[in-house]
Amino acid sequence: MGFFAKLFGQSNQKELEHVSIKLAVIYYSSTGTNYQMAKWAEEGGKAAGAEVKVLKVPELAPEAAIASNPAWKAHLEATSDVPEVTLDDLEWADAIIFSAPTRFGNVPAQVKQFLDTTGGLWATGKLANKVVSAMSSASNAHGGQEATILSIYTTMYHWGAIVAAPGYTDPLLFASGGNPYGTSVTVDQEGNMQENVEEAAKYQAKRTVQVAESLKKGNQ
């Protein structure tokens, strides 16, 4: 602060205002795994001070396919009150975490369909600088979780989003479930997670919020 500014109580250094981050946790889940991961991310985001919305990607599968799998049907019914994601939610969010199961080493069609509706927002620059990260699950330990996460990031790069992958930025990432690309888990046929990734998912949400905060402060 300069002498005259001190004298007159003025600062030429801009006071940084507290910024509040809006986090959208967007998931698709047939049998509940990615819903649980989204809920952990919600907790992590809230603990980091963000306003959080958990939103599901609309189901597209035919009724008959859903009915043929009791766990799928039960999960859809149990989460019927979770709001479906809209394009307005993407515009609202400063930060976005996606969680999606692996389907043949890629994102489910439901997620791709939703991403493919974002062209209008993309064309008007409204997705640029969103801070994003992604999580996934698969039945096999090496069944394509990372490929799914990277597929989501490919779309994010086109958005001009800023990918806040966890890397190895915290010691807990070296423990079970830590994945530098994004939290990933293996789930057995009964739907039991084979690794405990709760803390990794919460940490990923915290980091995503913190990166978004830094960016927003920098733009003040």
Ligand X SMILES: Cc1cc2nc3c(=O)[nH]c(=O)nc-3n(C[C@H](O)[C@H](O)[C@H](O)COP(=O)(O)O)c2cc1C
Closest approach of ligand X to the CB of residue 21, in Å? 25
Q: Work out the angle between the directed axes of helices 198-218 and 33-47 (0-180°, nearest 10).
A: 50
Q: Give the residue with the Cβ less far from ligand X, 105 or 125.
A: 105
For tokens 């888990």, name the residue. 185
Neighbours of 103 (CB within 10 A): 17
Q: Give the residue with the Cβ less far from ligand X, 33 or 183.
A: 33
Closest approach of ligand X to the CB of residue 138, in Å? 3
Q: Give the residue with the Cβ less far from ligand X, 2 or 58.
A: 58
Q: Which residues bind ligand X (CB under 6 A)?
A: 29-34, 101-105, 137-140, 143-144, 187
Q: State which amino acid sits at residue 106.
A: N
Distance CA 15, CA 18 (A): 9
The contacts of residue 18 (CB under 8 Å, 6+ apart) are none
Q: Give the residue with the Cβ less far from ligand X, 102 or 210.
A: 102
Could you tell me which of 182, 159, 160 has the C-alpha nearest to residue 102? 182
The helix (run of H) or strand (run of E) holding residue 113 is: helix 109-115
Rg of the chain over all Cα atoms, to the nearest angstrom: 19
Closest approach of ligand X to the CB of residue 19, in Å? 32
Q: State which amino acid sits at residue 109.
A: A
Q: Give the residue with the Cβ less far from ligand X, 95 or 187.
A: 187
Closest approach of ligand X to the CB of residue 42, in Å? 15
Q: Give the residue with the Cβ less far from ligand X, 143 or 178.
A: 143
Closest approach of ligand X to the CB of residue 91, in Å? 26
Closest approach of ligand X to the CB of residue 162, in Å? 26
**Sequence-ordered strand ranges (E) for the chain:** 22-27, 51-56, 95-101, 131-138, 162-163, 184-186
